[in-house]
Structure 1
Amino acid sequence: MRRLIIISLMLFGAASYAQTTVQGKVVDENNEPIPGTNVVLVGKAEGTTTDFDGNFTFNTSEQPPFKLQFTSIGYSDFVADVTANNQTLSITLGETSTLLDEVVISASRTPERIFESPVTVERFGLKEIENTASADFYGGLENLKGVDVNTNSLTFKSVNTRGFATFANTRFMQLVDGMDNSTPALNFPIGNLVGMIETDVLSVELLPGASSALYGANAFNGILFMRSKNPFDYEGISVSIKRGITSQAAAGDNSYTDVGIRAAHKFSDKFAAKVNFGYLKGTDWAANSLQGKDENNFAITGSTRANDLDYDGVNVYGDDFSIDIKDVALTLEGLGALPAGANALVPSVEVSRTGYNESDLTNYNAESIKADWGLYFRPWANDFEISYVGKVGTGSTIYQGTNRYNINGFFQQQHKIEFRNDNFFLRGYVVADKAGDSYDMVFTGVNINRSWKDDNTWFGEYAGTFVQATLGGATEEQAHAAARAQAESGRFEPGSPEFQAAFDRVIQDPDLTSGSQFKDASKYYHADGNYNFSHLTDFAEIQVGGSFRQYSLNSFGTIYTDLDGPIDYSEFGIYSQIQKTIDLQGEKSLKLTGSIRYDKSEFFDGFFSPRLSAGFTVNRDHNVRASVQTGFRNPTTQDLFIGLDAGSAILVGSAPENLERYTRDFDISGGGQLLGQPTSITQTGTAAYTNSYTRASVETLGETGNPADLVIANPDVVKPEQVTSAEIGYRGKLGKLVVDFSTYYNSYKDFISQEVVLAPFYGTVGDGSLSVAAISNGDFQAYSTYTNSEADVNSYGASLGLTAKVFGNFDLGGSYTYTKLDFDREANPDVMLNFNTPEHKFKASFGNTELFKNFGFNINYRFSDDYFWEATFAEGAVPEFHVLDAQVNLEVPSIKSTFKLGGTNLTGEEYFTAFGTGLIGSMYYVSWTINN
């Protein structure tokens, strides 16, 4: 009897812990497998996914009967009954007739149908990534409604929405699995150079406009929210190999390689891991514009070295430095190097040194090497997860900011630890970078020139030869030609050993008076968390969260005023959101959302950023939304701490301690010495903010000679910027047509901008005499200051997106975006807004994922209206452009592969999205993707 009882108990225990196995296959209505379908036990956090062939095996301790739910983006959900162990299921999912059922997370920090999102949101999912005609998923973002992608270089694209676009886009946040991947030194992301690997991308969501209420200061103009695949849900090895060429008139045809590898494995219900590796190599878009620009960096039509003595080519460097040769002649005459009265033979004209073309100063190597890895632990085999993620990346690219920079061997790393389940997350991470062998190409040209002949010698020879030639009977034009020929004697020619030796020496020297290297080893530490109380209360969904960030800037004095050691400072924020859905008659409902965030930087008073929204669902096919959002952004690290001589102006951040920390010695002209001034002075950054004139008024003085035209600048030190944004939108389905419309109006307060001012070396601005004399004698320094504009700055716009199934199973889509700046430029000539956005944009797509069995195609078209590009490096018109991309793809299920043949800019009409960058040519590629 005792043995019988023991045996019975053992059998009972075995039965209690017996495992139920369910297997099967998931297909679409054409009997094609649907890989990546989520298979979840209803009511429990247990599940699996289908493999490439649509097959799945699900093991659980749950005893039948129970239900399994099958979900996949683009298909209707399906719930199946499991009534026995070892049951085999055959599941057919029907395609959803609308994209409105897609789920997004970023809009409210909680999963919701895009149809019900309280604000505008764009989504780029697996289907869109697989079918994009662009060379990679990041380039495919160009086809999203309302999105601007400015191409800095082949591997550096800057995403932006609703205007105010620069490559140093500090108004826009980019998150990868919750981590900000902006560089610590520059305070903005360098595209996808050290970002995500395509085989690991699960989805991309984009919130245009102010998103500060939930995401803080850097989400002032929008946020790009990228998510990767969790190894618990997506196992296996995936490989993508892409080969092709880039074609550009300036650079020719060059090979292009892009490889991505993902390996993920779920070792048990408690532990999973993954690793990714990506490698890209190509040749960058060469920038070879020889068009001249003036002292304010405005393009000059028709200006060349042959017809402009003060020529400063857009992509020519070393010609940035110029002097009035009459002043040189006066100095030489005073030293006895020229006969008395010789200066009367010399005209008062600015003459610049001869520069080097950009192609002489870079090899246009575009490269990206990145890897990441993750360890995921679910100690109780449910939704509670602990993860560690590490990312490293290095690469080479071109960056255009105040100058043009060769980013060579740039390195960035991120490390994150996160605790999360369906209701909360708590994460902490560190982001650190190193500049590698990066250098400023403008100062490379300047200091190669100075390596073979310093400025005093060069201009002295020029002025002396000009006088001699004039005395010999030469015309003014002949005298200038003879003077330049003499001054150029001994010049290091590109390709010569002397040039190469000087180039190698300059790019390894961080002192901008003799070199061009910029050094950096900055980092920031970030922690943030969120708790959703929806499982604890039925009244409403309530969330609370917060974040903290500590910066440590360390550029060794090459970018910031941190020559004596790192600059540390911090900021934090807390927020809360309440969301309530009120069911009305029939299918009608009203979704109300209120959010508020408080942020505080140690340098400024705290700010509240509220958001209110309402979404009215008429029925499953129609939703109207309205919102009022506020946002703010703290001044960036550059706004506060930069101390950089960019050649045309010195950039000085306006943190109080920064102004005195930046110092510079300046020589005073002979005209100043005649007024009793010393031969040199030391000036600090304070002069820019307390003793300066506006640049526009100094230019007016040069035209009129009237000192009364001078206007005192003395800009205020920078403080946080605020925006209030009102938006109305509609999402719905009209028959087979899906419509998404939104319109907005933004009103800015304390708009952060750069203002170029001129600080005299002697005298006090407004004194009417000494400071005016300093300006007239050229005894002043131009500073680019960081301040807040008192002018009214507003913008508004609208977007309309239409998608539909046509001719049976063809996908047709199109969008139009209107963006307008409301600003009185004539009344505020010195305020730089960097709006840099076309007024009209149109995008269209046409394709079929299943034109016939396993074969699909997609065509994308983009139109951009012309617009004016305003930036510190160069300003000029960006002509309208039309771009056509296309791809065809073939799936081969037997080897779990997809082959794609594609091309971008197929018309071959080269274009650019920012003045001063290289023209964008065409790309042609073939790719092979395995098991993705």
Structure 2
Amino acid sequence: MRALLPILFFFCVITTFSQTTISGTVVDNNNIPLPGANIIAVGTTQGSITDFDGKFSLTVDQAPPFNIEVSNVGFESQTFRITTNNQVLNVIMVEGTSLDEIVVSASRTPERIFESPVTVERYGLAQIKNTTAASFYGGLENLKGVDVNTNSLTFQSVNTRGFATFANTRFVQLVDGMDNSSPALNFVLGNLLGMTELDVHSIELLPGASSALYGANAFNGILFMTSKNPFDFPGISAYYKQGLTSQDAAGTNAFYDLGLRVAHKFSDKFAAKANFSYLKGTDWWAVSEEDVLNPGRDRSHPNYDGLNIYGDEVSTNIRGVGQALVAAGLIPAGAENLLPNSSVSRTGYAETALTDYNAESIKLDAALHYRPFANDFEVSYVGKVGLGTTIYQGANRYSIKDFFLQQHKIEVQNANFFVRGYITDEDAGDSYDTRFTAININRMWKSDQQWFGQYAGAFIQGTLGGLNPDQAHAIARQTADTGRYLPGTPEFQNAFDQVTTDPDLATGSQFQDASQLRHVDANYNLTHLTEDIAEIQVGGSFREYRLNSFGTIFTDFDGPISYKEYGVYTQIQKKLLEERLKLTGSLRYDKSELFEGNFSPRISAAYTAGASRSHNLRASVQTGFRYPTTQDLFIGLDAGRAILVGSAESNLDRDRRTFPLSGTGATVTGSPTATITGRAAYENAFSLNSVQSGAPAAANVEIVKPEQVTAYEVGYRGRAGRVIVDLNAYYNEYQDFISNETVLVPLYGTVGDNSLSLLALQQGDFRAYQTYTNSPAEVKSFGASIGLSSKVFGNYDLEGNYTFAEQDFDQSTAPDFRTAFNTPKHKVKLSFGNTEVYKNLGFNINYRWSDSYFWQATFADGQVPSFSVVDAQVNYKIPSWKSMIKAGATNIGGKDYFTAYGTGLIGQQYYVSLIFNNL
């Protein structure tokens, strides 16, 4: 921070001697004020926004004459010549197209979306008001090329161009410049810690690599959410939304959602705002009983492992149990041969018995904005708090209960620069792992050793009594389960309460987390100094992680783990050929203390063609990279099916576990237990695929390093008659693709010695480990999107888009490598509506179709069937109250569906809302 003080001081003293103030109003052709219209001084980044009454005031650091541009979503941009100071403009906007919208994210400077050098999607105030989704965030799924995976009612994950799970570490979400991801759990928080609907000013989405400007992890896409400045949007706004959710499994349940925004401009120098929202409902139940190991197998199978049934992951070779009973003298020698040489799993509990599916979200934020010189130089503080209850699907299904996350930011900025610093601090609250809840309730009632011993004994007795194998298995499970804690009983509840408040995964399921992220970044736009040469920007960032899970997620049992990252960048942009050709070059250098430095260049060209300048062609080559996540590096977690161990060099020996051995293993080693470190997963393990194929071979897993991508993209935006066309195509080449590889670690012997390690496999003396590594395999992806929009039947809006996405990966070249592409090959989205079908009455209908696709994730792999969804809303505006009444429904008449394997099925949602003073 000390190094930044001289820079900050330099920024603060920059002034210009010539200032011009422009004011006025912006209305549509019906003389209705247009709030949120953008007023920008051409060739600079200085601008303003109209308030609720369509009024604006803009002070520019230059003397007349110069031009300003007025734009608003759905209207044609207009340019005005400013010739005097204090000039007053009364602007009447003409209805236009989406090509006239202003975006900032593509080049870190305001520009028409029509002229953007890369693909960008915008979701503004008009789209938010007209969305058919029950929340503005859910409405993002109607954007071209966007996937929204629903984890729960209050937690949705946005992704573009594939390769994502709910822990979407290849996608970045920034809320007023702050990274919205969890420092420890690595997932983007959706809108759990985002914005209230009332405070959203605009949302921009850049699909594809963006590391050249935005650094690590801006790899497959980046989402920008910008809130309303209280100087530009003062006043009181509120909404209340109530409705029903309907699902085959959960039935019909009520939900309600309310919000309040209060903003006040105390003077030309000081303004403040505060926001509050609260949502409560019933989450989507996850009730699949499909066998994860063998889909189609029913629950009667001895080694059944249900998708949303937990505790049945604990299994063992039942003949090995018999051998241990013989060694202990509990059964006669030879009796073990009556047992099958196959695995048996413990009886599990359904997820519905392990969580109450309460969905709750509370968001609060407050901001203070100070303009000491009554111009665009501004100092602001923002504090955000998010807490609530939801479901998160990662390695297991987690009940995120009373989760608490806060962010605090201080920023200094004007039209040419910003310096911001923020901190993210999280607390897992009373969250717990549902899988380990089931496992340890079972173990609290009866140990694994006792349960499997009773099972083996009863099976032998049944077989000797003349039962066939199926009958013997049934009687054995019945015998071993006698007295088991049943959901709804006091015994089960007491065990549940004890397990979910115990952070030791050997006996409990609570996970603790008090991790932090500290971040500082700065950007300076030199264009006002170099405009005769080119538009030039420079910037940089600093980030520090402080991981503190108390040993429940990471190997931080002896104290927090900290590490730092740095980055600097520059961008040069130049217009040529009568400003028809725009050339952009960017370069960024990043360095983590754990890895070597990395350069990320980007070059692009955009050309505006046609006599009326109505066609824009663009091409770009971009690079992106991402560091391994905090979990890739430092996790140390027994997830049930596998032990997850991060591959940071310092992490490999900190993960240390003791396992019981079979009777044979104990005889061979002379000890009933074996102690294994995480290093064995990388240096002494069999590949899973080789063992399954019957030819065990060494895994040879390398420790993880940063992943890189080179993205080639071309695109076109333009108008063909009454139709607006926006299309793009891309081709991505990945290097050092980060993914997981499951290996089998023998509890004794050295892999490759062809004796003890193979014996360990035969006796069941091994453990599955999930490693974090890079694949040497070639991974590529390619795709295209096209969007069409037009006015039909007079004033009706008709839009449609199609997205194609495919990966190019030969599984046979790397049998143990899983890419987790996780996106449909084909997607179609349609929209039809009219904001003024009759005076103050509007409606909108959305249709989405998704092709089937295969989902790969740590929790489970499985097929996601194709689905079709119809959403609709109708709204009525009451101008005299500055209000709108809206009624809508999602998945109308459709079947329950899911977007990720293992989640709850998404049913229908019906709502009615009243929005006040938000027009």
- TM-score, normalization by structure 2: 0.94
Aligned ranges 1:397-796 → 2 under 5 Å: 397-537=390-530, 538-584=532-578, 589-619=580-610, 620-701=613-694, 709-796=695-782
Once residues 649 and 156 of structure 1 are traced to their aligned partners in structure 2, the CA distance between those partners, rounded to angstroms, is 26
Q: Which runs of 5+ in 2 are unaligned?
A: 1-19
Once residues 67 and 583 of structure 2 are traced to their aligned partners in structure 1, the CA distance between those partners, rounded to angstroms, is 33
CA shift, 1:611, in A, is 0.5
> Structure 1 residue 331 and structure 2 residue 331: aligned?
no
Please provide the CA RMSD for this pair. Answer: 2.5
Change (3 A) 1:848 1:355: same
Is the 1:286–1:919 contact (alpha carbons within 8 Å) kept by the matching residues of 2?
yes
**Aligned AA for 1:541?**
E
Is the 1:293–1:303 contact (alpha carbons within 8 Å) kept by the matching residues of 2?
no
1:561-604 per-position Cα deviation (integer Å, ceiling 9, x unaligned): 000000000011111110111024xxx72111111111111011
CA shift, 1:86, in A, is 12
Aligned ranges 1:836-847 → 2 under 5 Å: 836-847=822-833
Once residues 58 and 901 of structure 2 are traced to their aligned partners in structure 1, the CA distance between those partners, rounded to angstroms, is 56
Is the 2:59–2:376 contact (alpha carbons within 8 Å) kept by the matching residues of 1?
no
- Structure with bigger gyration radius: 1
> Structure 1 residue 930 and structure 2 residue 916: aligned?
yes
Once residues 753 and 580 of structure 1 are traced to their aligned partners in structure 2, the CA distance between those partners, rounded to angstroms, is 39
Aligned ranges 1:253-402 → 2 under 5 Å: 253-294=252-293, 300-306=294-300, 308-402=301-395
Once residues 749 and 304 of structure 1 are traced to their aligned partners in structure 2, the CA distance between those partners, rounded to angstroms, is 41
CA shift, 1:550, in A, is 0.6
Once residues 384 and 600 of structure 2 are traced to their aligned partners in structure 1, the CA distance between those partners, rounded to angstroms, is 32
Once residues 487 and 102 of structure 1 are traced to their aligned partners in structure 2, the CA distance between those partners, rounded to angstroms, is 67
Identity of aligned residues (%): 63
CA shift, 1:40, in A, is 8.0
1:348-403 per-position Cα deviation (integer Å, ceiling 9, x unaligned): 12111111100000000111101111111111111111111110110111011111
Aligned ranges 1:88-127 → 2 under 5 Å: 91-96=91-96, 98-127=97-126
Candidates 820, 830, 841, aligned match of 2:816 = 830
Once residues 635 and 99 of structure 1 are traced to their aligned partners in structure 2, the CA distance between those partners, rounded to angstroms, is 37
Change (3 A) 1:679 1:25: closer
Is the 1:755–1:785 contact (alpha carbons within 8 Å) kept by the matching residues of 2?
yes
Aligned partner of 1:16 in structure 2 is none
Change (3 A) 1:593 1:473: same
1:128-166 per-position Cα deviation (integer Å, ceiling 9, x unaligned): 111010011110000000001111111111100001010
Q: Which runs of 5+ in 1 are unaligned?
A: 1-19, 295-299, 702-708
CA shift, 1:501, in A, is 0.3
Is the 1:45–1:382 contact (alpha carbons within 8 Å) kept by the matching residues of 2?
no
Change (3 A) 1:108 1:89: closer
Change (3 A) 1:329 1:599: same
Candidates 833, 851, 865, aligned match of 2:837 = 851
Secondary structure of 2:529's aligned partner? coil
CA shift, 1:82, in A, is 11
Change (3 A) 1:643 1:47: closer
Identify which range, 38-47 or 313-322, moves more after superposition: 38-47
1:34-60 per-position Cα deviation (integer Å, ceiling 9, x unaligned): 234457899999997655455679999
**Aligned AA for 1:685?**
G
Secondary structure of 2:813's aligned partner? coil
CA shift, 1:240, in A, is 1.3
Candidates 786, 789, 795, aligned match of 1:803 = 789
Identify which range, 366-375 or 323-332, moves more after superposition: 323-332
Secondary structure of 1:199's aligned partner? helix
**Aligned AA for 1:694?**
S
**Aligned AA for 1:550?**
E
Change (3 A) 1:826 1:21: closer
Aligned partner of 1:146 in structure 2 is 145
Once residues 604 and 715 of structure 1 are traced to their aligned partners in structure 2, the CA distance between those partners, rounded to angstroms, is 18
Change (3 A) 1:21 1:777: closer
Once residues 872 and 593 of structure 2 are traced to their aligned partners in structure 1, the CA distance between those partners, rounded to angstroms, is 50
Secondary structure of 1:635's aligned partner? coil
Secondary structure of 2:466's aligned partner? coil
**Aligned AA for 1:102?**
E
Aligned ranges 1:215-226 → 2 under 5 Å: 215-226=214-225
Is the 1:52–1:896 contact (alpha carbons within 8 Å) kept by the matching residues of 2?
no
Once residues 61 and 318 of structure 2 are traced to their aligned partners in structure 1, the CA distance between those partners, rounded to angstroms, is 89
Once residues 21 and 550 of structure 1 are traced to their aligned partners in structure 2, the CA distance between those partners, rounded to angstroms, is 42
Secondary structure of 1:548's aligned partner? strand
1:775-834 per-position Cα deviation (integer Å, ceiling 9, x unaligned): 111111111000000001111011111111111111111111000010011332211211
Once residues 674 and 26 of structure 1 are traced to their aligned partners in structure 2, the CA distance between those partners, rounded to angstroms, is 86
Is the 2:45–2:110 contact (alpha carbons within 8 Å) kept by the matching residues of 1?
no
Once residues 740 and 821 of structure 1 are traced to their aligned partners in structure 2, the CA distance between those partners, rounded to angstroms, is 23
CA shift, 1:683, in A, is 0.7
CA shift, 1:446, in A, is 0.5
CA shift, 1:87, in A, is 11
Once residues 660 and 57 of structure 1 are traced to their aligned partners in structure 2, the CA distance between those partners, rounded to angstroms, is 62
Change (3 A) 1:83 1:430: closer
CA shift, 1:524, in A, is 1.1
Once residues 597 and 88 of structure 1 are traced to their aligned partners in structure 2, the CA distance between those partners, rounded to angstroms, is 42
Identify which range, 674-683 or 764-773, moves more after superposition: 674-683
Change (3 A) 1:823 1:60: closer
Change (3 A) 1:907 1:347: same
Is the 2:77–2:100 contact (alpha carbons within 8 Å) kept by the matching residues of 1?
no
Once residues 845 and 857 of structure 1 are traced to their aligned partners in structure 2, the CA distance between those partners, rounded to angstroms, is 11
Candidates 863, 869, 891, aligned match of 1:883 = 869
Is the 1:46–1:382 contact (alpha carbons within 8 Å) kept by the matching residues of 2?
no
Is the 2:44–2:528 contact (alpha carbons within 8 Å) kept by the matching residues of 1?
no
Aligned partner of 1:297 in structure 2 is none
CA shift, 1:75, in A, is 2.3
Change (3 A) 1:39 1:646: closer
> Structure 1 residue 198 and structure 2 residue 191: aligned?
no
Once residues 245 and 429 of structure 2 are traced to their aligned partners in structure 1, the CA distance between those partners, rounded to angstroms, is 26
Change (3 A) 1:405 1:44: closer
**Aligned AA for 2:878?**
V
Change (3 A) 1:476 1:302: same
Once residues 739 and 575 of structure 1 are traced to their aligned partners in structure 2, the CA distance between those partners, rounded to angstroms, is 33
> Structure 1 residue 162 and structure 2 residue 155: aligned?
no
Change (3 A) 1:37 1:473: closer
Is the 1:414–1:431 contact (alpha carbons within 8 Å) kept by the matching residues of 2?
yes
CA shift, 1:433, in A, is 0.2
CA shift, 1:23, in A, is 9.2
Secondary structure of 1:925's aligned partner? strand
Is the 1:22–1:58 contact (alpha carbons within 8 Å) kept by the matching residues of 2?
yes
Once residues 84 and 606 of structure 1 are traced to their aligned partners in structure 2, the CA distance between those partners, rounded to angstroms, is 51
Is the 1:292–1:304 contact (alpha carbons within 8 Å) kept by the matching residues of 2?
yes
CA shift, 1:89, in A, is 7.6
Once residues 336 and 370 of structure 1 are traced to their aligned partners in structure 2, the CA distance between those partners, rounded to angstroms, is 62
